[in-house]
Amino acid sequence: MDILFVADALASFKIYKDSTFTMMRAAQARGHRVFACEPRHISWVRGGRVQAEIQALWLTGDAVEWFSITASAVTPLKEFAAIVMRKDPPFDSEYFYATHLLEQAEREGAKVFNKPRALRDHPEKLAILEFPECIGPTLVTRDPEAIRRFHAEHQDIILKPLDGMGGMGIFRVRQDGLNLGSITETLNRDGAQTVMVQKFLPAIADGDKRVLVIGGKPVPYCLARIPQGGEVRGNLAAGGKGVAQALNDRDRAIAEALGPILAARGLLLVGLDIIGDRLTEINVTSPTCFREISDQTGFDVAGMFMDALEAAQSA
C-alpha cells in the first residue's frame, strides 16, 4: 500500500534514533511504497480535495544519503492507503490547523493515524487528568497562590509548561521553596499561562519510563530514561540515558487499562510516561524510542507498529 508520512523536514532526521525513519524502513521492507510531506505542504481549495506536495521516497540504506526522491507531485490525500501523522511538537496553532485539514481529508475518504480529532482531544500533559487513579498529586492552574499552597503541602514539587517537549521548561522546587516565585512568574507569565505542578517522584532516579502502546497493546519493553549528573530530567533531549527494560506489573497494568480506551478513540500509537508507579504524561503526537528499544532488546517495535497499521487500514 501507499503510505504517506506527514513529518518534519527529511533533512532534519537523525536516523540513528528516529522512530519515523524506523517506521518508513519497516514499511519499505514489507513492500509498501513510502511518501512524505510536511504540514506546510498541505492545502485545500473549495471544489477540490485536501492535497499536498508529496515526495515519493526510496530508502537507500546509506547512513548519510539515506533517501532518494523518486517522484514529486501534488496529490489528494485520500489517494493514500494510510496517512501517518508524525509531526513533532510543539502543538502550536499550525499543528492545530494541520489536524483540521487532515480531518477534512478523512471526510473525503482518507485514513489518518493517529486520528486528527484524537490528537486535538488529548493534549499530552492534560490527558492524564482523565485517569486520576494512575497519577500522583497534580495541580493545573494559573494562580500563584494555589501553587504556593501545593508546595506547602507537598514540599518537593515539579513545575512545567503545558506546551513543553523534551524536558523543556521543567523546574524542581525543594522544601526550601527557593525561587518558587520567580519560577512561577516565568512559567505562568504573570497569570497569563496555565502551569502543571506535580509532586516530585523520587523514583525518577530509576528513570522516566516510556511505555509504547500500539493498537491498544503494550510493547513488552519500555525505555527508562535516567537523569544524568545533576539533572532532574530524564528526557533523552536533556541528556538522559536510555536503558531498555521489560515492563513491570504496574507498567503493564497502566498500559493495559488505558490502551484499549485510547485505541478506540483512534490513537494507534501512544507513549505513556511512567515514573515509579505513576503515570505522568500521555504522548500522542509523535511518540519515540522505537530504535532504542529495538536495538537493546531485539524486539521489533516497528514491525508491531506496521502490523497494527495494516490491520487498522483494512478495518
Domain 2-114: give its CATH code: 3.40.50.20
CATH fold, domain 203-307, is: D-amino Acid Aminotransferase; Chain A, domain 1 (3.30.470)
pLDDT tens for 155-206 read 999 999 998 777 788 999 999 999 999 999 999 988 889 999 999 999 999 9
User: Which cell is 15 given?
Assistant: 536516523
Q: Is 151 exposed, middle or buried (0-12, 13-18, 19+ CB in 10 A)?
A: buried
Instruction: Yes or no: say if 121 and 129 are a contact pair by the CB < 8 Å rule.
Output: no
Q: Which CATH number fits domain 137-200: 3.30.1490.20, 3.30.1180.10, 3.30.70.20, 3.90.1200.10?
A: 3.30.1490.20
One-letter amino acid for residue 95 of the chain: Y
Q: For the chain, give every domain's residue range.
A: 2-114, 137-200, 203-307
The Cβ-side half-sphere exposure at 125, using a 13 Å CA radius, reads 23
Kindly report the backbone phi and psi dihedral angles of residue 252, in degrees, each rounded to the nearest multiple of 5, phi listed first: -65, -40
Per DSSP, which regions of the chain are E strands?
Answer: 2-6, 33-37, 42-43, 51-59, 67-76, 82-85, 112-113, 138-141, 157-161, 171-173, 195-199, 208-214, 217-218, 221-226, 241-246, 269-275, 278-283
CA angle, 125 then 129 then 130, to 5°:
125
Per DSSP, which regions of 208-285 are E strands?
Answer: 208-214, 217-218, 221-226, 241-246, 269-275, 278-283
Q: Which residues form the catalytic set?
A: 125, 160, 210, 225, 233, 273, 281, 283
**pLDDT tens track of the chain, all 315 residues?**
999 999 999 999 999 999 999 999 999 999 999 999 999 999 999 999 999 999 999 999 999 999 999 999 999 999 999 999 999 988 899 999 999 999 999 999 999 999 999 999 999 999 999 999 999 999 999 999 999 999 999 999 999 999 877 778 899 999 999 999 999 999 998 888 999 999 999 999 999 999 999 999 999 999 999 988 667 766 676 678 999 999 999 999 999 999 999 999 999 999 999 999 999 999 999 999 999 999 999 999 999 999 999 999 998
